[in-house]
């Protein structure tokens, strides 16, 4: 299957409403029809920018009524059937509804943390988890994927490609299939779970396994993008970030349009943390809130270049952004971790993560492997099967409480990035201590084993 990015087939939506802007030099480029997502002038990453003048005239109260009204799903309104497109006026106002490619992503509950987890984290927090694994492909990537694929469709793209540690490939393959596009995914051999490997295969993607880390996969895809040979659906494509902002919008709506004190997220390639920061700034700028929540990013000790450089430069919980950037170095010597989806030594969006951490006076912390695995098991005792990346965030939150970054009693939202069903290794490693075998099928012998 040839993977060729063609952006000529369909008429472009209104370019005046949405465009690309380089975070380095400020140069602009068209959003619809752009094939490469690094600035040709300075090599910087792009943000998506929108003209919000029309919705500012409508006012915050009018927007709240629109968004709240869409919580009632309608067969006639695609925006009501998606927790991302519920906020279309904030996410991608220039896109026509008929261009939207949605699988019903983002219609998720909020989990109040159980007693075991609250006690383990400490701080007597008002602790909530946003289970973004309860989405069509089982991870938060669907929040961004629906927007990225929709914009690609509106631009006439016929084929996409991505590097992945598993979740991005599942998202890309599923949404490409829904849009009628071809898809190729490049994965690190032996470093994705069987479930994550099965997903792109089931959705008809071309799967390429290479003998290297995710960072090697990403290098290959970026070189193909630079050569104009594939269209990227990784978070280097900033339309992904627009969809991920819905995490903030959903949380604010859930709490009666009140922002929590902190968001805590695991950090892999950086799309989640950078988008949450961008979404918070947008709500503040539009008048939904007058402050930002503290953004806490957490990496495992197996892959923690952002956390290491933050700790090196921070003083009393604040890292000067210039010193932090100068201190930052990608990490090549990656360790082993159960949080395989975040085992990334060179996050593509590291500069965006730094920007949002600085804006929110947040932090990037390191979670030890034993702590993140313990967090998974503690959450399980409250009935919530979470992925090890979520365990990373929970372990980082406990550290933030201990270090005084998060104050006692604060309302905190932890982004749970994927279903734990994709990552059974943490639980199954504990299975030996939980299993009891009987020598026969005798009822009394089973009763004795149960203890009844």
pLDDT tens profile 299-319: 999 999 999 999 999 999 999
Q: Are 238 and 20 in contact (CB under 8 A)?
A: yes
Indicate if the pLDDT at residue 320 is higher than 70: yes
Indicate if the pLDDT at residue 1 is higher than 60: no
Tokens 């992925």 -> residue: 387
Going by DSSP bridges, is the β-strand pair 206-210/182-188 parallel, antiparallel, or unpaired?
parallel
Tokens 């099928």 -> residue: 441
Kind plus residue range of the DSSP H or E element containing 184 = strand 182-188
Cα distances (Å, whole numbers) of residue 337 to 106, 195, 344, 367: 28, 18, 11, 11
Local structure of 262: helix, strand or coil: strand
Indicate if the pLDDT at residue 433 is higher than 90: no
Tokens 């104050």 -> residue: 407
Q: Are 217 and 209 in contact (CB under 8 A)?
A: no
Going by DSSP bridges, is the β-strand pair 294-300/182-188 parallel, antiparallel, or unpaired?
unpaired
The two three-digit tokens of residue 284, written as one number: 């503040």
pLDDT tens profile 337-378: 999 999 999 999 999 999 999 999 999 999 999 999 999 999
**Per-residue DSSP letter, 232:** B
What dihedral angle (degrees, nearest 10) is formed by the CA atoms of 148, 149, 151, 152?
110
> For the domain with range 111-136+243-429, which CATH number is right: 3.10.450.50, 3.90.1170.50, 1.20.1300.10, 3.40.50.1100?
3.40.50.1100
Indicate if the pLDDT at residue 429 is higher than 90: no
Going by DSSP bridges, is the β-strand pair 18-22/28-30 parallel, antiparallel, or unpaired?
antiparallel
The two three-digit tokens of residue 285, written as one number: 């700028």
Q: What is the mean pLDDT of the chain?
A: 93
How many Cβ atoms from other residues are within 10 Å of residue 447's Cβ? 11
Please state the domain extents for the chain. 111-136+243-429
The two three-digit tokens of residue 75, written as one number: 């067969």
Local structure of 436: helix, strand or coil: coil
Local structure of 116: helix, strand or coil: helix
Indicate if the pLDDT at residue 7 is higher than 50: no
The set of residues, in sequence order, having a beta carbon less than 8 Å from that of 433 and lying 6+ positions away, is: none
Continuous H helices in 122-166: 141-154
pLDDT tens profile 62-74: 999 999 999 999 9
**Per-residue DSSP letter, 186:** E
Query: Please, which pLDDT band fits residue 182 given cuts at 50, 70 and 90?
Result: very high
The confidence score (pLDDT) of residue 15 equals: 59
The two three-digit tokens of residue 41, written as one number: 């002038």
The confidence score (pLDDT) of residue 432 equals: 65
Q: Are 123 and 404 in contact (CB under 8 A)?
A: no
**Mean pLDDT, residues 382-408 taken together:** 98
DSSP 25-57: T--EEESTT----B-TTT-PBEEEEE--HHHHH
Nearest CA to 406 among 192, 122, 169, 142? 122
The confidence score (pLDDT) of residue 8 equals: 29
End-to-end CA distance of the chain: 60
pLDDT tens profile 8-42: 233 445 657 999 999 999 999 999 989 889 999 99
Indicate if the pLDDT at residue 280 is higher than 50: yes
| Pairs from 373-378 (Cβ < 8 Å, separation ≥ 24) | 373/338, 373/426, 373/429, 374/120, 375/117, 375/120, 376/338, 376/420, 376/426, 376/427, 377/426, 377/427, 377/430, 378/116, 378/117, 378/120
**How many Å apart are CA 84 and CA 363, to the nearest integer?**
27
Local structure of 351: helix, strand or coil: helix
The confidence score (pLDDT) of residue 434 equals: 77
Q: What percent of the chain has pLDDT over 70?
A: 96
pLDDT tens profile 234-271: 989 999 999 999 999 999 999 999 999 999 999 999 99
């Amino acid at each position: 299957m040839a993977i060729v990015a063609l952006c000529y087939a369909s008429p472009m939506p209104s370019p005046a409403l949405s465009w690309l802007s380089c975070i380095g030099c400020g140069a602009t480029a068209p959003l619809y029809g752009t094939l490469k997502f690094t600035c040709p002038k300075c090599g910087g990453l792009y943000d998506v920018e929108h003209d919000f003048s029309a919705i500012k005239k409508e006012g915050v109260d009018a927007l709240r009524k629109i968004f709240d009204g869409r919580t009632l799903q309608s067969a006639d309104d695609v925006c009501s059937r998606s927790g991302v497109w519920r906020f279309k006026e904030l996410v991608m106002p220039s896109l026509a509804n008929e261009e939207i490619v949605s699988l019903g992503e983002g219609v998720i509950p909020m989990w109040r943390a159980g007693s075991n987890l609250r006690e383990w984290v400490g701080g007597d927090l008002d602790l909530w988890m946003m289970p973004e694994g309860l989405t069509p492909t089982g991870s938060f990537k669907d929040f961004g994927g629906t927007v990225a694929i929709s914009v690609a469709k509106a631009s006439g793209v016929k084929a996409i490609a991505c590097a992945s540690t598993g979740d991005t490939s599942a998202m890309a393959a599923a949404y490409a299939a829904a849009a009628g596009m071809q898809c190729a995914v490049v994965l690190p051999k032996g470093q994705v779970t069987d479930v994550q490997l099965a997903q792109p295969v089931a959705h008809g993607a071309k799967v390429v396994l290479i003998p290297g880390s995710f960072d090697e996969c990403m290098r290959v895809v970026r070189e193909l993008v630079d050569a104009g040979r594939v269209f990227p659906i990784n978070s280097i494509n900033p339309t992904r970030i627009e969809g991920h902002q819905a995490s903030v919008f959903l949380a604010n709506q859930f709490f009666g349009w009140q922002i929590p004190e902190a968001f805590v997220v695991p950090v892999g390639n950086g799309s989640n943390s950078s988008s949450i920061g961008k979404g918070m700034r947008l709500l503040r700028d539009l008048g939904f809130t007058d402050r930002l929540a503290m953004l806490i990013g957490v990496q495992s000790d197996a892959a923690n270049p952002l956390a290491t450089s933050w700790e090196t430069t921070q003083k009393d919980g604040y890292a000067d952004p210039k010193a932090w950037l100068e201190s930052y170095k990608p990490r090549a010597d990656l360790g082993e971790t159960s949080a395989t989806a975040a085992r990334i030594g060179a996050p593509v969006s590291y500069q965006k993560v730094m920007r949002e951490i600085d804006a929110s006076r947040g932090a990037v912390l390191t979670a030890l492997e034993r702590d993140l695995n313990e967090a998974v098991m503690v959450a399980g005792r409250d009935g919530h099967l979470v992925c090890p990346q979520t365990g990373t965030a929970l372990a980082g939150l406990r550290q933030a409480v201990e270090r005084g970054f998060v104050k006692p009693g604060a309302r905190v939202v932890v982004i749970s990035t994927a279903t734990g069903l994709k990552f059974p290794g943490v639980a199954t490693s504990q299975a030996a201590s939980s299993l009891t075998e009987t020598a026969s099928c005798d009822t009394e012998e089973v009763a004795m084993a149960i203890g009844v």
